[in-house]
Amino acid sequence: MQPVRCALAGHGMIGREHARILAAHPLADLAVICDTDPAAASGVPAGTRFTVDLDEALDTAGLDALWVCTPQQVHLPVVEAGMIRGLHVFCEKPFASSLGDADRMMELHESTTGSLVIGHTLRFDPNYVAVHQAVADGKLGEVVHVSARWNAPDYEGRIISGRTTVPQEMAIHDLDVMRWLVGDIERVYAEAAQQRVVGPGPDAAVATVRFASGAVGALDHNWILPFDSGLRSDHRLAVFGTRGSAYVETRDSPAVVFSADGLEHIHSGYYSYPNGVPYGALPSEDAFFLGRVRDGRPWPLALADARAALVAALAMDRSIEEGRPVDIAEFDG
């Protein structure tokens, strides 16, 4: 299979990981990286050109695909620039920061020769996929209750607090997973902590969820997990049905290092590079997209699913702001 010639926009926290994965993958030819900050040129993989000019990057000869890893507030113009050039576009979650931007991106998917997918990485995590398969196979019976948490280290919070929200950045992972497992969400009710531990905040959010099926869910999320404590992440999913239950738990790692520097839990399932080879859910997602460019394989979630997860996250934000339960129908009528 001929390598996919790639461009990447946004060489920040997640963009650097995608760049590292693509630079190491035999099916990818990472030709150019673009970021508006010249300092982002630091750490660009060897042999990859860097520019601060998006048009210059996307006019690179022979491009097949574009990875959009910018803040969600500027997803639309970057996606649009790639779509009108007929590129295959991978856009990091969340879909956008507004429904207007998300809807415009969906229109571009229909009206241009380009194609668009949204990256929700848990759809490629084998643990979450296994739970989904158990639900789909009826092993748990009818789902009655689901709960999830996604707590991130404080260095992430310092980077993104004030630029986005806990629901849009963190909870959206699990909102998508919950819809994948249980179906449409009807209502959310959220509360937030405002201590400003890592930035303008809020620092943490909890929520209850009502599904159209009658099931209920609970969410808890933050980006204040002290990195120096040695705990690098805290993700959990629990699903309870009429015939059984299923769990994903990543807080306790099978690899733990005890040293003079303290305790460190090694989490390799999301992304890691043993012997220089990308491993984990994020590399699997990128590899799947490279294959999609060449053979047209279907993406695991439709744009409508990514949009629905965004709506649920925006409903959480509105619930926090207004102090009341928010019906999803308020957004789409």
Q: Is the pLDDT reported for residue 327 higher than 90? A: yes
Express each pLDDT in 264-294 by its tens digit. Answer: 888 788 888 888 899 999 999 999 999 999 9
H/E element, 273: none
Burial class (CB in 10 A: 0-12, 13-18, 19+), 58: buried
Domain end residue (candidates: 67, 85, 119): 119
**Among 140, 241, 130, which Cα is nearest to 177's?**
130
**Structural domain tally of the chain?**
2
Tokens describing residue 274: 């043993």
Contacts of 300 (CB under 8 A, 6+ apart): 123, 124, 288
CA distances from 143 to 139, 237, 239, 242 (A): 10, 13, 7, 7
Q: Quick one: 80 and 199 in the same domain?
A: no
In a domain, 294, yes or no: no
d(CA 333, CA 330): 6
- Higher pLDDT among residues 330 and 252, named by residue: 330
In a domain, 299, yes or no: no
Task: Using DSSP, state whether 63 is helix, strand or coil.
Answer: coil
In a domain, 231, yes or no: yes
In a domain, 291, yes or no: no
Q: Quick one: 107 and 166 in the same domain?
A: no
**What is the distance in angstroms between the CA of the first residue and the CA of the last residue of the chain?**
46
d(CA 139, CA 135): 6
In a domain, 186, yes or no: yes
Low-confidence winner among 53-57, 232-236, 319-323 (lowest mean pLDDT): 232-236
In a domain, 316, yes or no: yes
Q: Quick one: 64 and 200 in the same domain?
A: no
pLDDT of residue 253: 80
| pTM exceeding 0.85 | yes
Q: Quick one: 102 and 129 in the same domain?
A: no
Could you tell me which residues are beta bridge partners of residue 29? 5
Q: Quick one: 108 and 132 in the same domain?
A: no
81 neighbors 64 (Cβ within 8 angstroms): no
**331 CB neighbour count, 10 Å cutoff:** 16
Q: Quick one: 258 and 165 in the same domain?
A: yes
**Where would I find the H helices in 198-279?**
none
Per-residue pLDDT band at 261 (split at 50, 70, 90): confident
268 neighbors 255 (Cβ within 8 angstroms): yes
What's the CATH number where 58 sits? 3.40.50.720
Q: Quick one: 24 and 91 in the same domain?
A: yes
Task: Using DSSP, state whether 93 is helix, strand or coil.
Answer: coil
Q: Quick one: 93 and 151 in the same domain?
A: no
Low-confidence winner among 80-94, 186-200, 304-318 (lowest mean pLDDT): 186-200
pLDDT of residue 64: 98
**91 CB neighbour count, 10 Å cutoff:** 26
In a domain, 236, yes or no: yes
Q: Quick one: 34 and 169 in the same domain?
A: no
Per-residue pLDDT band at 333 (split at 50, 70, 90): low
Mean pLDDT of the chain: 95
Give the structural domain span for 107.
Answer: 4-119
Q: Quick one: 195 and 233 in the same domain?
A: yes
* Stretch 62-76: mean pLDDT: 97
Domain end residue (candidates: 62, 88, 119): 119
What's the CATH number where 225 sits? 3.30.360.10
Contacts of 250 (CB under 8 A, 6+ apart): 127, 233, 234, 235, 236, 267, 269
Contacts of 28 (CB under 8 A, 6+ apart): 3, 4, 6, 21, 22, 286, 290
Q: Quick one: 137 and 257 in the same domain?
A: yes
Express each pLDDT in 170-181 by its tens digit. Answer: 999 999 999 999
- Higher pLDDT among residues 228 and 91, named by residue: 91
Q: Quick one: 88 and 159 in the same domain?
A: no
**Could you tell me where the beta strands, DSSP code E, fall in the chain?**
4-9, 28-34, 49-51, 65-68, 88-92, 115-119, 143-153, 185-193, 204-211, 216-225, 234-241, 245-249, 255-259, 262-266, 326-327
Full strand arrangement of the beta sheet holding 204-211: 245-249, 234-241, 143-153, 216-225, 204-211, 185-193, 326-327
Burial class (CB in 10 A: 0-12, 13-18, 19+), 19: buried
Domain end residue (candidates: 97, 119, 141): 119
Q: Is the pLDDT reported for residue 74 higher than 80? A: yes
